[in-house]
Chain A
């Protein structure tokens, strides 16, 4: 089954899955309440904050090459090795070479969508390297053999009872209905990983060009351990993650925490400057930063879509999206779900195969409204649709239907003739179609407005 058919099937199944619907909406309602409260509590002027954040990220996009070079040279000066990967395959090869160099058999990972993007787990497993996910949500989906359901909260779709059962089955723990106890089970399981892993792998929330820092945000403390305990730390980050200056975090940290999880600030914020320096007692001896392009430069070259690279992966657009809230994260079958995923995936992975994601939106604009870096997401979906049609991906049915429609709708005489012919035909057509589509065909009025006007208003 191709990606489009699969998406249609899965999204329809989820739309009918009442239990799934209730679970997701409940989770997102809690998020909504926290976000609304936090926006009020810590921003005097939220619209101005998101405008400013958007402008800073736009500055990054306009000065991209310079800032990347600045980041690279500062990190090198701090003792880190910076490596460039043009494609996911190159990133995987670079990582495997590093693993080989350090004879790594076991890695511990913090939550990172970029490593999902390059399918690092699968690569490691295929090469005999054991992967331990240290983020609670990631651990849950890893144990369940699933992909993340959401870019920020990967196990949003799992209830406490499901997690308890999963831990019982996979980790041999006693069942529990307490979130705290479940967290302690995961914690006990993971502690051994930090001290025995050969490499700690993380993503990055922000790459700070001046003075050369990797910033990673979290709530569990696992990133601190992942990036500090093992002898080698590898950062894998998209090249759009830049921020110009350290002081930009003063805006971006509360912005990301508010939009991502409805927090004032996340529990831990890690600023990593490089590997263990001379005279320091701990920290990894070696640090690598793999900078991933994988379609980003190409997107940057598109003047209309470039703005999507502002994204800081807060997940707010997913939580706001009525389609996401109906079909859930797994239906997308992509690394990035929801509106931002529907913008990026067709561009990163091919519009012919993925344009249906851009089509699967009512264009309500909720995503655009909540985006903390002011990305006009629904307009970018429209741009994807335009490109898709231009590249002849529109199905023959819709292409022909709208061609005929355009001929009728650009000529009042033809529209009048259509109405006469279709008044009865539409009902017949509705009966021939499956109920779900058929019920969408409106019953035409006996008399159009134009006819009414002609009869009643014209002398």
Chain B
């Protein structure tokens, strides 16, 4: 065991709805030899208000995020979308704000979970067993804002017996889009259903993703349409299948 420290950013959705994802991530990080630092004052990155154009509200919440994490080194998060908010959009949100520099600097230190595995070269620490084909849902923000492409698949391939599959034309939006799913529920639901059907038609009933927002949305739609599918976060899947834990 080395004594490397890492700070964790637990997005609001994970904190309030899916704490098990945060717990799984922490267990994995520890199994890789990291000591975890968790700021208990943390809340949210501010993305819902930012995406709604409500900058005043966004900056209030994002400002809190910056205060909480300002002094940290590497920060890991189980969400591509929240990571993208910090890295890609904080400079825009904080333009002209006194905390702009601190906020922009955070972008280089917040990493989505699979990015962290890649950057810290931890791939060979993952091993485990499972059997079957798995659909991988790369979130739009992971792929397009963070350039996360096939690395999560390489992580999945570390588990013996896993055959990860990406449907053609990736990535395809799950339809979540935060408040978009409340403002245009019918459109958002159809997008989710189309996405689920894409997996279903390929015979994929276990789907792994790296974004809690997409996972929530797809789970809600699968339940509503009585589609029998298992939709998991990458960290949850690893927790279930790896030997190290």
Contact = CB atoms under 8 A, between A and B. Distances in A.
Interface of A: 8, 11-12, 15-16, 21, 25, 32, 322-323, 326-327, 359-366, 368-369, 379, 382, 384-390, 394, 398-399, 402-403, 405-412, 415, 419, 434, 436-437, 439-440, 442-445, 447-454, 457
Q: Which 4 A-B residue pairs are closest in the complex by CB-CB distance?
A: A362-B177, A385-B53, A364-B173, A12-B186
B43 A409 contact: yes
B140 interface: yes
Given A11-B186, A405-B61, 12 more contacts: A12-B184, A12-B187, A326-B187, A360-B180, A361-B180, A398-B54, A410-B60, A411-B64, A439-B220, A440-B185, A447-B19, A453-B38
Interface in B36-52: 38, 40-44, 46, 48-52
Nearest to B42: A412
Given A437-B182, A447-B19, A452-B19, A362 B49 contact: no
A445 B60 contact: no
5 contacts: A360-B184, A363-B180, A364-B144, A386-B53, A394-B53
A407 B184 CA distance: 25
A279 to B, nearest CB: 55
B17 to A, nearest CB: 5
Contacts, number: 181
Contacts of B224: 439
Contact of A448 (B19, B57, B140, B186): B19
Nearest to A18: B190
A409 B187 contact: no
B180 A15 contact: no
Given A368-B144, A444-B17, A450-B15, A412 B190 contact: no
Nearest to B169: A32
B99 to A, nearest CB: 13
Given A364-B177, A365-B144, A359 B10 contact: no
A361 B15 CA distance: 26
Given A362-B188, A366-B140, A385 B51 contact: yes
Interface string B84-127: 00000000100000000000000000000000000000000000
B144 to A, nearest CB: 4
B16 interface: yes
Interface residues of B, number: 65
A326 B190 contact: yes
Contacts of B54: 389, 394, 398-399, 402
Given A360-B187, A410-B61, A436-B186, A398 B41 contact: no
B53 A388 contact: yes
A226 B172 CA distance: 41
A362 B190 CA distance: 13
A80 B81 CA distance: 53
A419 B16 contact: yes
A6 to B, nearest CB: 13
B181 interface: yes
Contacts of B60: 406-407, 409-410
A434 to B, nearest CB: 8
Contacts of B53: 382, 384-390, 394
B189 A453 contact: no
Given A362-B191, A389-B55, A410 B64 contact: yes
Contacts of A25: 194
Contacts of B55: 386, 389-390
B23 A362 contact: no
A436 B182 CA distance: 9
Dominant secondary structure at the B interface: helix
Interface of B: 10, 12-20, 22-23, 38, 40-44, 46, 48-58, 60-61, 63-64, 92, 140-141, 144-145, 169, 171-173, 175-177, 179-191, 194, 216-217, 220, 223-224
B173 A454 contact: no
A259 B245 CA distance: 49
A227 B148 CA distance: 49
Given A16-B190, A369-B144, A410-B63, A436 B185 contact: yes
A443 B17 contact: yes
A409 B51 contact: no
B19 A415 contact: no
Given A394-B54, A411-B64, A448-B16, A457 B38 contact: yes
B177 A361 contact: yes
Contact of A322 (B13, B92, B175): B175
A415 B220 CA distance: 24
B239 to A, nearest CB: 15
Nearest to A7: B184
A449 B19 contact: yes
Contacts of B216: 442
A410 B68 CA distance: 10
A407 B188 CA distance: 28
B185 A437 contact: yes
B184 A365 contact: no
Given A323-B187, A369-B144, A406 B57 contact: yes
A365 B187 contact: no
B6 to A, nearest CB: 14
A398 B52 contact: yes
A359 B182 CA distance: 11
A439 B14 CA distance: 18
B66 to A, nearest CB: 11
Contact of A410 (B43, B187, B188): B43
Contacts of B173: 322, 362, 364, 366
Contacts of A368: 144
Contacts of A403: 57
Nearest to A407: B60
A362 B38 contact: no
A409 B181 CA distance: 20
A402 B180 contact: no
A327 B194 CA distance: 13
A418 B190 CA distance: 31
A403 B49 CA distance: 9
B21 to A, nearest CB: 8
A366 B194 CA distance: 16
A363 B139 CA distance: 11
Given A359-B180, A364-B177, A410-B64, A327 B187 contact: yes
A68 B10 CA distance: 53
